[in-house]
A and B are shown apart, each in its own frame.
Chain A
């Protein structure tokens, strides 16, 4: 097994919402779908996600999910843990950690 080149990683972006409990991944980026986060707002979902630390290169782990289905999920990002619904998780593009450390 060899380490895959970065191009290959970027060729396999998946949404965080497709991950299962126990999966680890690296953030590639957030999709700006202009979802308003609150009322008083100008902040979009993408911006708030970036502010919370979902920035390219950070590693994360899905540590919990409410079943049936997986909504919401709990994601560990460094020392933080966040609860996200499928819709928010779908805005975060990641690559599975297994793509990087085979």
Chain B
């Protein structure tokens, strides 16, 4: 029997309160052998990894969402409870639960250990951050804790190489436990029972002589500034400013490299292949299409590097605390701040980040306004139009072009707040939901965890580009290329295509907001992604040039033929228009229904039309 047990695979599940270092331990155990997907039928992220022990036994390990308790308050927490109890459809119950405990905060963590033990699941306690605890002067006795709780307690240091050796050794020494059983009799504890477990936890802490030192003075002083209602906001504003600077300046070089590489491949294929539909599909459809989205990868990664670092440091919940009042005034939770911040790079990661908002309607409201944050895909369009129509003169100490760009960002944020107010008073009205936000201790971000986190983001993004987005690009390429122009055509080819027909039909609707047929046609392929419209405009004006020189040649062309009112109207259009199929597809995935993406497209197009109409008419009246 024992040879068979050793060779078998052992299924582990990591459970722990938020900020216990659970994900860091998961990263330590599995390295980059991780698979991120969703649990069947819900949008909760499922992270699984594997590793092999020295004995050759394979381990499969599930990183369950962090939770304070098995009585859930969110979808994530419900998943954790159901996974532990073996009730989750499509998941086999874990054979061993590894409960990750923050050694510097046993008072908060121990109750969950006792709750899990009470259920009777086979478990091991990983006493994590034991190094930090000792260094900060905590009195810690793992053996005494093991004796009192009655389950193995192993010290771990998730952020140090070899910091999980003790845990792995302990798992290796264990015989394969009996097949896990379901827990049909489980019921959520009553408040009285919760109190009883808490008292039990306090009793154990007394017996083992657990002592917490006073919090470091320096950290208290840091919080006095960071959490100050005025100074804290100044710190936050400075941080955001620095992050945006970095996103745009650090990303410039890698973006250029990606751009060069993509057009290099395009040019190579262009010269290597005979002219015809295949070459056009490869070069104009696939390479150009995927390239136009891939080019944003550096910005997304830099933004995520900062967000991950801020998240690990413990700062982000403090920002949510500072902003809860402001966000609350439009009916959103302070927790909506993080997803909305991400949306400035790209709405897709922002929408995915709304999973941390426990209330469903709050989460939907946040998803619905995320596309109003000015994402980086709008920049090429803004840059083209501002460059062509707004003089680079000074207004006081400010650059006029910069002011217009800033105004466009502000317009997006203001619109988002107004939309949130309306939605939270109508369709997404909720009863009151508590904040109850833990503000965890500060930690230095761990470079390895940051790298693994970034790698995960990059993989998700590239997979999206490689699948859905690429398929859409190919479809739009087809619409823009067929049917071919008739012999002796005087207009550019796209004029005669399906996209051209659609665009010309749209012109009837778009003429009142000042769009000519060229703009109308460019908006059709521009549905895939906002920045595609720049290339499409080039095509419409029969320019065959690389992207960079395109903007340079396109600028005088549109500056000469469009009125200022038309340009301003198009800018206003772009503040709102949901011209990003990828976003709508991700909303469909995240909300598991077509209702939200359709509502989103509807309201955003409506606002875009109204906004552009008002801008056009006012600009005309003012003589622009």
Residues of A within 8 A of B (CB): 32, 35-53, 55, 63-67, 71-72, 74, 78-85, 87-88
Is A46 a contact of B191 with CB atoms below 8 Å? yes
Q: Count chain B CB atoms within 10 A of each CB in A46, A48, A51, A74 and give the residue with the most.
A: A51
B72 touches A71 (CB 8 A): no
Q: Are A82 and B324 in contact (CB under 8 A)?
A: no
B435–A39 contact, CB under 8 A?
A: no
Q: A51-B194, A53-B107, A72-B321 are in contact. Are A81 and B73 (CB under 8 A)?
A: no
Contact with B191, one of A32, A52, A71, A72 (Cβ below 8 angstroms): A32
Cβ-based interface call for B429 (8 A)? no
B31 part of interface (Cβ distance < 8 Å): no
A78 CB contacts on chain B under 8 angstroms: 105, 107-108, 212
Q: Name the one of B194, B317, B360 contacting A39, with C-beta atoms under 8 angstroms.
A: B360
Using A72-B435, A83-B324 as known contacts, say yes or no to A40 and B74 having CB atoms under 8 A apart: yes
List of B residues within 8 angstroms of A82 by Cβ: 436-439
Looking at the complex, which one of B72, B334, B440 makes contact with A38 (CB distance below 8 Å)? Answer: B72
Cβ contacts B348-364/A at 8 Å (1 or 0 each): 00000000001111000
Known: A79-B441, A83-B321, A85-B435. 19 other contacts (CB 8 A): A37-B434, A38-B359, A39-B359, A41-B73, A42-B71, A45-B434, A47-B71, A52-B436, A53-B107, A53-B111, A65-B229, A66-B325, A72-B334, A74-B439, A79-B105, A79-B107, A81-B439, A81-B440, A82-B436
CA distance A41 to B434 in the complex (A): 13
- Residue of B with least CB distance to A73: B321
Residue of B nearest to A75 (CB): B439
- Partner of A48 from the list B202, B436, B440, B441 (CB cut-off 8 Å) is B436
With A78-B107, A80-B107 as known contacts, state yes or no: A37 contacts B439, CB within 8 Å: no
Write the nearest CB–CB distance from B211 to chain A, whole angstroms: 11
Assembly CA distance A79 to B437 (angstroms): 14
The reply to whether A40 and B212 contact each other, CB–CB distance below 8 Å, is no
Check if B437 sits within 8 Å of A35, measured CB to CB. no
**Which chain B residues have a beta carbon within 8 Å of chain A's beta carbons?**
68-69, 71-75, 77-78, 104-105, 107-108, 111, 188, 191, 194-195, 198-199, 202, 212, 215, 223, 227-229, 317, 320-322, 324-325, 328, 334, 358-361, 431-441
Interface pair B227/A37, CB less than 8 Å apart: no
The contact sample of 20 A-B pairs, CB cut-off 8 A, is A35-B432, A37-B434, A37-B436, A40-B73, A41-B74, A45-B436, A49-B436, A50-B195, A51-B68, A52-B68, A55-B198, A64-B223, A64-B321, A66-B324, A78-B108, A79-B104, A83-B438, A84-B434, A85-B434, A88-B434
Q: A64-B227, A80-B107 are in contact. Are A39 and B324 (CB under 8 A)?
A: no
From B75, B104, B199, B321, residue with most partner A Cβ within 10 Å? B321
Give the one of A44, A52, A88 with max B CB within 10 A: A52
Is B223 touching A48 in the complex (CB atoms < 8 A)? no
Task: Select one of B73, B325, B434 contacting A71, CB under 8 A.
Answer: B325
Cα of A22 to Cα of B438 in the assembled complex, Å: 19
